[in-house]
Structure 1
Amino acid sequence: MRVLEEFQLVDTETRRLAPKADVLLGQLEGESFAPSIQNSMLRVESGSHADVTALRDELLHLRATVGAAAEPLGLAIAAAGTMPLAHRGSLGITPRSRYMEMSADYALLAREQLICSAEIHAEVRDRDQAVAVSPGISRHLPLLLALSASSPFSVEGSDTGYASSRDLTGQRWPTSGPFAPVRDAAEYDALVDTLVTAGVIADAGMMYFSLGPSISDGSLELRVCDSCPSVDAISTIAALFRAMVAREASLVDACTPTPPHNPAVHRAMMWRASRSGLEGDLICPDSLAPRPAAEVLHSVVDELADELAASGDLEMVRRFVEGIIRTGTSAYRQRRAYRSRGRLDDVVDQLLSETVGWLTEYEGTEGSLFGAYRPNAWAHGDYVDEAVDKGGTARPAYAGVLGAAGELGPVELRNLQTAADRDLSAAGVTFRATGMDTQQAFPLDMVPRIITPDQWAHLTAGVEQRAKALNSFLGDIYGDQDIVRDGIVGLDLLEKSPGYRSTGRAAWRGTVRNHVSGSDLIFSETGWQILEDNVRQPSGIAFAVEAREMMRRNYPALFAAAPQPLNDPAEGYAMMGQTLAAALPPHPQDDPRIVVVTRGKEDGSYFEQVKIAEAAGIDLVLPQNLLVEGNVLWEVTPGTRHRIDVVYLRMDEDMFLSSRGADGSELRYEILRAITAGNVAIANALGNGVGDDKAVYAYVPQMIEYYLGEKPLLDSVPTYLCAIREQRDEVLKRLDQLVVKPIDGYGGSGITIGPEASDEELEERRRELMVKPEQFVAQEVVSLSTLPTFDGAAMQPRHVDLRVFTHLRGNGDGLSVATAPAGLTRVAPAGSLVVNSSRGGGGKDTWIVTGGRQ
């Protein structure tokens, strides 16, 4: 038994495919190494082994050998069906006559052959036997493909929706399919001759059937598998394949061969395997009914137990199978790596690590769902885990839902999670993290956060107090500036704030400015604190609603454990409509019209904008459909013209004002005149960015006392203002211990977390603080609480925060304030304290218990 693996060649600096296989092969000696059709790929072939353990050891050795030769060249190898980062234009066919001829003959098929497979050779008595056993073995090809699935991404980096897109690409060749329709080796050779004579193939090496006689020896060759980063997975497939050959050979010799499936059925089975891998159902080869992939795999292992025992592989196969089922396919792990931070670089790095042996043994995977859970193991000090105490016991509020998750187990949870991801994508619940080129399904975890009635009462009182104080502040600084005159806030603080704009003076005095506030809260050893204020365009309500729908639909067993009575986050939509309806300008029309102004589908939160518009019964409008005439704002479309009273602005203020309207003119001055005339209101108001300023954040406690005459109900995180020389110097001394933020940073951008930062990152931030200190603040590292989050194999603690949404409405008596019964719990990527959707991570459903106070 031997294995031929194809590897992708990656530039370690750019993480992109590198067309340098010819250079690398010049550094490798021996017959084990050979080129492939693309110069960004190479082929590595093992020797023949009777023992699978010895085969596995050689595969690891060969990978290490190639990796060692590649490293000085700035290269690395990845065993994967496809790689997600490549520039087709920079790649090329290997400059050998055979491959150049194939490129000329097959054109598109050859140029796009950026796929890698693993070929396994099993010994047979002769070539006739290789042909004879192929039909019966073909029944199991879908399972073997599913085990190896490692090509979820296209070379352009988009998610194909398939676990093995390589298999779909490979089916385009004229000599593809399960096996050649022949009865013996002579007929097989005659078919090869016919196809060569017809000019369809150049030689027998282009017979790309999934099963067929080897052209180099008397073995049977399996060609259905993706190249797979896990050596254990390839070793398992090799052992299963050899056992299948042995079993079917005995049946053929007894004149009772296993019949193949109908070609249409086989094609459907292969499609199902390509689509889902092991994370879903496979079509059972016996009943042809859908069955969980793990059940199909266990059944096949049991069926082959005698053959596996005879070859000494049974114990190893059972151990590896359990690990593979628990850990999932490479395709699944790649998607999880991508969704963690929204970076394809992370996918490439994971593949590079696994290829050289990082994922060889499935140590620790035999434990329970929480077997490796460490609720107090963060490198930067102790923190609070809200669901599990330091002894590893579920806290009372979480006992029910965590117990239900444990009963389901990691494999079922992963299957449910995969189905949930598909549902979220189908429903358009997407988000684009910073640096991502495409939208992706918003990652939602199945373990909820639980907020007790007492906690919720405390939080809502605190955020409502804060929203009112910020509203007063915004009205004041764009009016009489009493807070500046009284020495509470310095004028220099405002003037240095990028969010302090002259546009803020356009709104009428006394009107609400922060109609909807998003407050980011954290929980730590010291209790609840406000981390950030968001009074520009706070997003997240739609994702809070979808998180609840996901729990109901995809995790009914977990949702059944929810305490009662429970909040309904969808009420947040109704509140949004009511708040916008109350945001009328001084001179509205009799039948006011409200719209959501968006920059369109390219916006990272476009899904949410659509949902709010649908729920509130209002229209989405692009800036190019707006027109101002006579200080009145109109929506203009072909054949229609409607006056607008309220604009719910969901795009950057500068982008909106600099956009060209329906008449081709810049909107800025006409819009400002319409606002000043009292004919249109903007929610949230222009100029509100100063309220999001991280330096202004430090003064909110004083604002609460100044405007409301109250003590703050929620603490802020102590903040250093780097614009003040003494405070900046203190920050520079403790740079490796503090969190440094840009004062106008969106979505966690530009943050340096001292204990996590590299020396280079700290030095760059040090230079910035010396040159432009007024653009930064610093805070102590807060040990954000954690919650269990499923990583595909087990629960792991991940840091979380909580965004809640407070609404302000003007009425005859002043202001009314209310907080939506919805919270978006956001989850940080693994190993990070930065909790923000635009930086990756994800979210959780937030269960707010609405019963009596406890």
Structure 2
Amino acid sequence: MSAALTLGAEEELHLIDLERWQLAARAPQVLSKLPRDGYTAEIQRTTVETNTAVVSTLDGLRQELLRLRRGLVDVAGREGLGIAAVGTAPRSEFRDFELTATGRYGRMQEQYRLLVDEQLICGTQVHVGVEDRDQAVEIMQRIARWLPVLLALSASSPYLNGQDTGYASIRTIIWQRWPSAGATGYTPDAAAYDQVIADLIASGVIADAKMAYFDVRPSSHAPTLELRIADACPLVDDAVLIAGLFRAMVRAAEKEIEAGELRTIRALPVHRAAIWQAARGGLAGRLLDDSRHPRPIPAPDAVRALVERLREELEELGDLEEVREMTELALARGNSADRQRSAFAEEGDLADVMRSVVEETQGPPGGAQPASIALRRYRARAGDEGIDASSRPRRHYTGVVDWVRGLGEDEVRRREERRDAWSIAHDFTFGVDGQQRPFDVDLVPRLIQPHEWTELEAGLIQRARAIEAFLDDVYGEQRIIADGVLDDEIVRSVPGWREEARRLPPTALRAPIQGFDLVRNEYGGWRVLEDNVRCPSGAAYAMSIRQIMDAVVPDMPRPDRLADPASALEQLRRTILAGAKPGTRGALLSDGPSSSAWYEHRMLADGAGLLLAVPDDLDVVDGFMVHRPTGNRIGSFYVRLDDQVLTLTASDGRPIGEEIMDTAAAGRLLLKNAPGNGVADDKAMYRAVPELIGYYLRERPLLESVPTYRLADEAERRGVLERVGELVTKPVDGSGGRGVLIGPSASATELADRRHEIAEHPEAWVAQEVVQLSSVPSVEDGLLQPRHVDLRAFVYTTGHRKRDWFLADLGLTRVAPEGSLVVNSSRGGGAKDTWIVLPEHQHGHR
């Protein structure tokens, strides 16, 4: 080996006030009590940099990093401070920046302005000894294609300015704004590299060679090659792993040079894309493979492929077994970004995330020992709500998971038999294609934490209010059309438009019961997938599932402040009766036993104290709708029809639907939910809901939608036809999962057929980007395994005022079959109990 291949590292560490859990700009005070050999200032006063001695082994580097951290912890601790080795401190805000008072840093701030003010970021720089600068420049270019893997392993900066940025490493995105960051492009030798630096300095864009912030560079002050791409790593062993892989990369490139192999250098745009990709997804996303024309592969596969590619070099350096072990541990526990998001999911408090990164930074090099035992046969995946990347239950799932494991496979099966017996005894079914089928229920609940429910409450009520305002307007004054926000032709072409809906009084509440289908992506963010405004089903099923759990697993540990789904019955009753004339009854209007949701109709009517009415039960007497079996006047209908009200007929042919509309138009009957609501939950209209929120409420959407393409638009249709295999396509008026095609899972024949269907009737279809639904542990053959889930939640209202809207204390979690993303019961999906843990201020007040 002609290169020295020694090791050294520089770590940038945030100073954290341990009382406020915020950045502390007290580096000058801390540094004054530390030896100058090993500790230096950075541009921001919230950061201290450490510099290790030169070592020759990975364990030597580990001991150096630990030594310097301990020294800093000791001094900082006496000041009430902790340290955090992360790309961004989770609670950092731009206003936290305070400049270190030196002339050089002052000049930089004056020249770069905001670019300096946002530098609340920390990285890990690794040095490998390479004495020949020509060779160092050559190696720098050869190893560039492997750098995204190191970035993904180190990613530790998902949070900034009080929010999740959506990136695993937002530090990388901030860092790349420097004019001298990134890759150099083709550089033949050290002289050419030095000329690039000289030209940059001469341009006035950078002040000196130290400002060459390339991903990898020959050091400006030592005979080393310096890696600068990595975020700061809270666990020392992650930094050591990156150093081990980097040194092996250097050795592999050196051997290529010795063998006379041609360079393999990616085009700069592809390199930038690969770095961005790693910063975006980290280990939970996809990285480019090492082929001539790279394609994305799961990040863990890319990491393992790199280790295997460097196997000979790692073995030569004596690092192979240690690197392999650290690699598998890193993949099992996830990178720091993954762990930070897990910490936030517990309580929704960034102070908890700050505490967790400080504990990791100041703790053992490999992290604290896990409190629970891994599920060895569980197929852990990014985005699992109950099981982390190391196959261990997350804290709020630990009690449930341990209880299920304690039962054993045989007892789990016995409990499932009791579940099935309950379903048969209570006729717990769902209609599919005219037949009633058992409703499959998984015995492992889905838990929703208080902060999540609070977030959903605000976002869904906002969405529901905007939809109600739209329905009121579009069947009334049509201001949104007059103002050019929506086109009249588009609105009237929606299959759900009903001209007769304009007959209802202007005071009518058209959609007092709204259902929303939500999904969580692999980063934990909630998205609204669909709006259901006609007759959203599922509430009764959520209540019955809780009854099953009470009967079959009453001994399963339950959290405090667990919401009772049956409380929604009283909420539903108030909603249906609101505004009805005195002396009248509320009724649920149903098609009858032929309805797919007949079970739910019966249960809701009985539980909420409503009359259950089918067409033959109705008559008009003195201008009022009357329930024949009881003789009661009906003041309001909860409309739960598979077909439209206007076409409803009695068995003798009497046009009862027209009589209902006449009574409602005269103001003697309230229709909840009204004819014509389909114009709002049409899948082509879904895309416009954020605009409805802005137009009617003058607010920004609190919950995001899934990117959706309206195929009646020619430009969007062309793009979709090229990408049908990457998208989800749906009929605009579909329900129950019918007609949904998930492109990545479809056959070539299915994709060809769908392209033809879209080309023939583009207005009948929409397309959406695929959302990798989160998963929840479910029982399969007596064992726990992940299954994709969504959530249906319900918003009720008793009036038009903001305070009249409320989120029902229940949710229906639907579960997809193994290997599927489709959760609908009609497509083989099932459900599970949704354990909503209410915030303390709400528990007992609903």
For Structure 1 versus Structure 2, the TM-score category normalised by the shorter chain is 0.5 to 0.7
Structure 1 position 541, deviation (Å): 1.0
Q: Distance in 2 between matches of 1:805 and 1:567?
A: 14
1:515 maps to 512
The AA in structure 1 aligned to 2:784 is: M
Report what 1:643 is aligned to. Answer: 633
Q: What does residue 580 of structure 1 align with? A: 576
Offset of 1:630 from its aligned partner? Answer: 5.0
Q: Does 1:634 align with 2:623?
A: no
Compared CA separation, residues 667 and 369, structure 1 to 2 (3 A):
farther
Aligned to 2:402: 403
Structure 1 portions without partners, runs of 5+: 1-367, 377-382
Aligned to 1:463: 460
Matching residue of 1:426:
425
Contact (CA 8 Å) 2:709, 2:766: kept in 1 or not?
A: yes
Instruction: In structure 1, give the amino acid aligned to 2:789.
Output: V
1:687-726 matches, within 5 Å, as 687-726=676-715
Structure 2 residue matching 1:519: 3-state secondary structure: strand
Equivalent position SS for 2:393? coil
Equivalent position to 1:619, from 595, 601, 611: 611
Does residue 562 (structure 1) correspond to residue 561 (structure 2)? The answer is no
Give 1:411's aligned amino acid.
Answer: D
Change (3 A) 1:662 1:442: closer
Q: Would the aligned equivalents of 2:589 and 2:612 in 1 still touch at CA under 8 Å?
A: yes
Asked if residue 803 in structure 1 is aligned to residue 792 in structure 2, the reply is yes
Structure 2 contact 374–392 (Cα < 8 Å) conserved: no
Equivalent-residue separation in structure 1 for 2:774 and 2:817 (angstroms) = 14
Displacement of 1:411: 1.6
Q: Provide, for residues 84-139 of structure 1, a one-character-per-residue CA deviation record: whole Å limited to 9, x for no partner.
A: xxxxxxxxxxxxxxxxxxxxxxxxxxxxxxxxxxxxxxxxxxxxxxxxxxxxxxxx
Residue 821 of structure 2: aligned partner = 833
Relative distance call for 1:630 and 1:661 in structure 2 (3 A) is: farther
Q: Which residue of 2 aligns with 1:595?
A: 587
- Give the root-mean-square deviation of aligned CA atoms: 1.9
Distance 2:803 2:474 in 1: 19
Would the aligned equivalents of 1:653 and 1:686 in 2 still touch at CA under 8 Å?
no
C-alpha distance in 2 between matches for 1:373 and 1:764:
37
The separation in 1 between residues aligned to 2:545 and 2:411, in whole angstroms, is 19
Tell me how far apart the structure 1 counterparts of residues 767 and 802 of structure 2 sit (CA, whole Å): 36
Deviation at 1:727, TM superposition (A): 0.2
Q: Please tell me the residue identity of whatever aligns with 1:374.
A: R
Alignment length (residue pairs): 469
**SS of aligned partner of 1:458:** helix
Cα offset, 1:662, TM superposition: 7.2
In structure 1, the partner of 2:811 is: 823
Contact 2:511 2:673 in 1 (8 A): yes
Does residue 756 in structure 1 map to residue 741 in structure 2?
Answer: no
Q: For residues 692 and 487 of structure 1, do their structure 2 counterparts lie closer, same or farther at Cα, with a shift above 3 Å needed?
A: same
Q: Distance in 2 between matches of 1:388 and 1:853?
A: 29
Tell me the equivalent position of 2:551: 553
Equivalent of residue 571 in structure 1, options 567, 570, 576: 567
Verify the 8 A CA contact 2:583 2:633 in the aligned structure 1. no
**Gap change, CA 1:460 and 1:822, over 3 Å in 2:** same
> Retained in 2: the 8 A contact 1:627–1:661?
no
Q: CA deviation at 1:402?
A: 0.2
How far apart are 1:503 and its partner, in Å?
Answer: 2.4
Give the Cα separation in 2 of the matches to 1:369 and 1:593: 56
**3-state SS, counterpart of residue 471 of structure 1:** helix
- The answer to whether the Cα contact below 8 Å between 2:374 and 2:393 also exists between their aligned partners in 1 is no
Counterpart CA distance in 1 for 2:759 and 2:839 is 53
Does the Cα contact within 8 Å between 1:825 and 1:845 map onto a contact in 2? yes
In structure 2, do the counterparts of structure 1 residues 549 and 664 end up closer, same or farther at CA, with 3 Å as the change threshold?
A: same
Name the SS of the counterpart of 1:432 in structure 2. strand
What secondary structure, in the 3-state scheme, does the structure 1 residue paired with 2:427 have?
coil
| Aligned partner of residue 555 in structure 2, secondary structure | helix
Residues 684, 710 of structure 2: 8 Å contact kept: yes
1:779 maps to which of 768, 771, 793: 768
d(CA) in 1 for partners of 2:563, 2:707: 32
Report the CA distance between 1:619 and its aligned residue.
1.6
Cα distance in structure 1, aligned partners of 2:374 and 2:779: 9
Given the alignment of the two structures, is residue 492 of structure 1 paired with residue 522 of structure 2, yes or no? no
Query: Residue 413 and residue 488 in structure 1: after superposition, are their counterparts in 2 closer, same or farther (change >3 A)?
Result: same
Distance change in 2, residues 1:662/1:646 (3 Å):
farther
What is the Cα deviation at residue 498 of structure 1?
A: 0.4
Alignment deviations for residues 120-165 of structure 1 (CA, whole Å, 9 cap, x no partner)? xxxxxxxxxxxxxxxxxxxxxxxxxxxxxxxxxxxxxxxxxxxxxx
Whether the 8 Å contact between 1:471 and 1:513 is mirrored in structure 2 is: yes
Q: Distance in 1 between matches of 2:574 and 2:694?
A: 29
1:844 equivalent in alignment to 2:832: yes
Q: Which amino acid aligns with 1:375?
A: A
Q: Distance in 1 between matches of 2:585 and 2:651?
A: 18
Give the CA deviation at 1:732.
Answer: 0.3
2:5 equivalent in structure 1: none
Structure 2: state its 5+ residue gaps. Answer: 1-372
After TM superposition, the structure 1 = structure 2 runs for residues 301-450 of structure 1, keeping only pairs within 5 Å, are 370-376=375-381, 383-433=382-432, 435=433, 438-450=435-447
> Quick one: distance in 2 between partners of 1:611 and 1:667?
24
- In the TM superposition, residue 627 of structure 1 has moved relative to its aligned partner by 2.1
Q: 1:727 aligns with which of 711, 716, 727?
A: 716
Q: One-letter code of the match for 1:625? A: D
Q: Aligned partners of 1:474, 1:839: CA distance in 2, in Å?
A: 31
Distance 2:750 2:623 in 1: 50
State the shift of 1:492 in Å.
2.2
Deviation of the 1:632 alpha carbon: 2.5
2:754 is the counterpart of 1:765: yes
Task: Give the structure-1-normalised TM-score.
Answer: 0.53
Task: For 1:814 and 1:390, locate their aligned partners in 2 and report how far apart those are by CA, in whole Å.
Answer: 41
Equivalent-residue separation in structure 1 for 2:473 and 2:573 (angstroms): 27
Q: Is the 8 A contact 2:588 2:605 kept in 1?
A: yes
**Separation in 2, partners of 1:852, 1:620:** 36
Corresponding residue for 1:543?
541
- Do 1:627 and 1:662's aligned partners in 2 also have CA atoms closer than 8 Å? no
User: How far apart are 1:606 and its partner, in Å?
Assistant: 1.2
| CA-CA distance at 1:840 after TM superposition | 2.4
Q: Distance in 1 between matches of 2:737 and 2:495?
A: 17
1:222 alignment partner in structure 2: none
1:514 partner letter: A
Looking at structure 1, the residues matched to 654 and 789 of structure 2 have their Cα atoms a distance apart, in angstroms, of 45
Q: CA deviation at 1:661?
A: 3.2
Q: Percent identity?
A: 42
For residues 649-680 of structure 1, the C-alpha deviation after alignment (integer angstroms, 9 at most, x for no partner) is 111242x4323237632123322211110011
2:480: which partner in 1?
Answer: 483
Distance 1:810 1:481, change over 3 A: same
List, as ranges, runs of 4+ consecutive aligned residues in structure 1 with deviation greater than 6 Å.
Answer: none
Distance 1:597 1:564 in 2: 37
Deviation of 1:375 after TM superposition, in Å, equals 2.0
User: Could you tell me how far 1:499 is from its partner in structure 2?
Assistant: 0.2
Letter in 1 for 2:625: L
**CA contact under 8 A between 1:369 and 1:795: conserved in structure 2?**
no
TM-score scaled by structure 2?
Answer: 0.54
* SS at 2:398 equivalent: helix
Look up the SS of the partner of 1:832 in the other structure: coil
Answer whether contact 1:636 1:662 (CA < 8 A) is retained.
no
C-alpha deviation, 1:851, in angstroms? 3.9
- Name the CA shift for 1:552/1:578 in 2 (closer, same or farther; >3 Å): same
Aligned equivalents of 1:659, 1:536: Cα separation in 2: 16
Quote the Cα distance in structure 1 between the aligned partners of 2:558 and 2:610.
33
Counterpart of 2:574, as a letter, is Q
Q: Which amino acid aligns with 2:819?
A: G
Matched residue type, 2:450: P
Q: Is the 8 A contact 2:518 2:792 kept in 1?
A: yes
How far apart are the structure 2 equivalents of 1:404 and 1:494? Answer: 52
What is the alpha-carbon distance in structure 2 between the residues aligned to residue 825 and residue 649 of structure 1?
24
Query: Tell me, what secondary structure is at the counterpart of 1:645?
Result: strand
Q: Which residue of 2 aligns with 1:243?
A: none
Counterpart Cα distance in 2 of 1:529 and 1:642: 43
Alpha-carbon shift at residue 370 of structure 1 (Å) = 4.3
